[in-house]
Amino acid sequence: MILVQEHKEPQHNLKTEKFLTPKRLSLALSQHAGEPSTPCVSLGQEIKEAQNIATSSGYISSPLHAPCDGKIIAIEIGNHPVLRKSECITIQCQANNKGYPSLIKNIENTTKESLLKDIKDAGIVGLGGAAFPAHVKLNPPKKIDTIVINGCECEPYLSTDNRMMIENLTEIFKGIEIIAKIIEPNEIIFAIESNKPEAIKKLNLFINTKKFGFSKIRLSVLKTAYPQGGEKQLIFSTTNRKVEPGKLPLDIGCLVQNVATAFAIYEAVYLKKPLIERLVSFCGDALLKPKNVWVKIGTSLQELFDEKILEFKEEPKKVISGGPMMGVCLDNLNYPILKGSGGFLFLSSPVSEEKEYPCIRCARCIDACPMNLLPLEYAKIIKKEKYNLLTDLSIKDCIECGCCAWVCPSKIPLVHYVKIGKKYEPKNI
Ligand code: SF4
Ligand code: SF4
């Protein structure tokens, strides 16, 4: 793991804001890992907030819901902040925020099956970045003895998890209770990095004074390093168990859930509220005031500036969907917020030099790689298009954390090469 400049101030310490009255929303059907959802509405149809507008298309898929009352004005290919283009449902918004009173008091008398159905029907996906459908992750084929709740948020700039742990801890713990009821683990570990003192103080107080519907939970305060919040790194840091190459956390009895996902699970079960809003970090030195804002899924970046929710201090030289380590550059502001969008960065200068120099074989990329891979070899092989040579180099285990590229003195875009390598690696490997 590496140390990177955090850039979490000032948004880290500011109360969250809300913008829940957009004029128009664009909902990509590819919001999650797995198969894109399938539209179940038609052009011109009037819809109500929380109505299902696209159904899941397979085992690893998730439904999509209307974030507001309105009318379907397009179902066509539109902008996607990660894939560039995807089929999208566009809604002209008419009314927002119908309100979601709590429908149940506790989950004691609710079955696991019913909880999983609520989570599936609400379209909950992992909000830590991967957007993996939560009902699939919470129905593992093997016994899980340890749940790790991920509050690390190690990517520089981003601070939504920190704010949620400060502002929404009760709801997060109700979500953890639901997860624990479904999985029945022996232990729950709440993991957080040491750079979040206010959240740590609240968590300590909460864990030591409240009663929960699960027995064993402990707080694990980890050193601030990148990528501490990566699933495999987090499991090793908290349990000392290693997920071997090609294996999954469930193979060693572990399951990791992000704090924001726990919050969304609480809303799905207690409020019957689908995943139609999320907290997003808007940061970077090109913004007048970096902040964390609750927005409807599908809100465009452009509308946030049009409505003066965000303002530029100066014209950005670089706009990134995500953080500086794993994010994707955007060429304009006409991109919608996805279920998995944790943040957007607006920078007054490029993050790094664009020009690539020859490899000097310094091995810094190898030392920095948290997965013990050989990024310099990937770049060499991929430049020569000898993809079959990737066979023995476990390229699939690369988590695209960006540590190798960050430390490379020759500015070689190593993650870019990895992405190409993963795409062209022979499939029978
Ligand atoms: S860090 Fe860059 S220059 Fe050094 S070995 Fe790796 S790829 Fe080559
Ligand atoms: S090779 Fe992959 S896992 Fe290793 S440092 Fe580079 S991006 Fe991260």
Which ligand is closest to the CA of 413, given by its number?
Answer: 1
Ligand 1 site, residue 359, Cβ cutoff 6 A: yes
The per-residue pLDDT of the chain, averaged, comes to 92
Is the pLDDT score of 428 beyond 80? no
Beta bridge partners of 187: 146
Ligand 2 site, residue 2, Cβ cutoff 6 A: no
| pLDDT at 352 (0 to 100) | 58
Rounded-to-integer distance, Cα 363 and Cα 375, Å: 9
φ and ψ at 37, to 5 degrees? -75, 165
| pLDDT at 263 (0 to 100) | 98
Q: Which of 222, 224, 244 is nearest to 232 (CA)?
A: 244
The tokens describing 321, both together, are 């969907």
| pLDDT at 179 (0 to 100) | 96
**Residue located via tokens 């907290």:** 279
Ligand 1 site, residue 363, Cβ cutoff 6 A: yes
Q: Indicate which atom in ligand 2 lies nearest the CA of residue 401.
A: 8
Q: Which of 291, 408, 274, 336 is nearest to 14 (CA)?
A: 291
Q: Model-level pTM? A: 0.92
| pLDDT at 351 (0 to 100) | 59
The preferred substitution site among 356, 360, 406, 418 for testing ligand 1, maximizing ligand atoms within 8 Å of CB, is: 360
Mean of pLDDT values over 104-124: 92
